[in-house]
Amino acid sequence: MSNNKVFYPQFLDFMVKSGALLFGDFTLKSGRKSPYFINTGEYSDGEELAILGSYYAKLIHNSVRESPGGIDEHVEQAEIDRLNLLIAKKFNVLYGPAYKGITLVSLAGAALASKGLNLYFSFNRKERKTHGDESLFFGHTPENGDKIAIVEDVTTAGTSVRETIAILKELGIDARITSLYISVDRMERGTHDISATQELQQEYGIDVHSIATTYDIIAYLENPACTIPEAAKHADAMREYLKLYGAKQL
């Protein structure tokens, strides 16, 4: 369950402008009909990637703070150094599940390195090779004792996290996933009444942090300053969607 309490309307502006946050009628992998869709595959130039990486770095820094700060706040280097030490105690590897996680983990790792925190990064092949380099991982290969943070776009059912846990178990790697960082928590039910992110926390002890939630998007749409056509209609549709599929809040 995310403990990030900062609302970033700038991030939602950024997602809409980049085409990564869309409103309309979409069919999800789960088969559910959704009034909104998040696709981080729409980021298409270097500037957008740099901005996205900075948001993930901010999210990761905020995740170890008692009082999270906004994206534009000035943080003294001494405080950044302190936060870096806290993060390094939680995990030493950033991991991105293929395919979208590959870009996201690379951006997050580079952005954190620019702040003085140099972590290992790793991502997996989607399909195993039977020739040449048959390793399942690129970058750092997880080892016994590693503590891993997964960087993803959206978690609806927690599938990629469970797949990662299964891969580590299959390979006999005694590494632990401690954290999950995502762009948007859709706050939908998982296999039970609670959300997939809450399930991950309960089942595996994984701390989940999101830059935004579905309720943040609704608040964004209902802001009088919002310029998205039919914003109120989209907000109403999202509220109705949550009535059908929203998770019980703990």
Closest C-alpha among 191, 193, 192, 196 to residue 214: 196
Is the pLDDT confidence value at 198 over 90? no
Is the pLDDT confidence value at 134 over 80? no
* Segment 119-146 mean pLDDT: 83
Q: What's the token pair of residue 45?
A: 């130039």
Q: Tens digits of per-residue pLDDT, 8-37? A: 889 999 999 999 999 999 998 778 899 999
pLDDT tier for residue 4 given thresholds of 50, 70 and 90: very low
Separation of alpha carbons 171 and 44, rounded Å? 35
pLDDT tier for residue 108 given thresholds of 50, 70 and 90: very high
Every domain of the chain and the residues it spans: 9-245
Is the pLDDT confidence value at 91 over 80? yes
Closest C-alpha among 71, 60, 66, 2 to residue 214: 2
CATH number listed for the domain at residues 9-245: 3.40.50.2020
**148 CB-near residues (< 8 Å, 6+ apart):** 91, 93, 94, 95, 122, 142, 164, 175, 176, 177, 178
Query: Taking the CB of residue 45, how many other CB atoms lie within 10 A of it?
Result: 8
Catalytic residue among 129, 169, 192, 233: 129
The angle at the Cα of 160, spanning 239 to 21, to the nearest 5 degrees, equals: 40
Separation of alpha carbons 136 and 133, rounded Å? 9
Catalytic residue among 5, 29, 74, 131: 131
pLDDT tier for residue 215 given thresholds of 50, 70 and 90: very high
pLDDT tier for residue 95 given thresholds of 50, 70 and 90: very high
pTM for the structure as a whole: 0.92
Active-site residue flag, 129 = yes
Q: Given this model, what pLDDT does residue 5 score?
A: 55
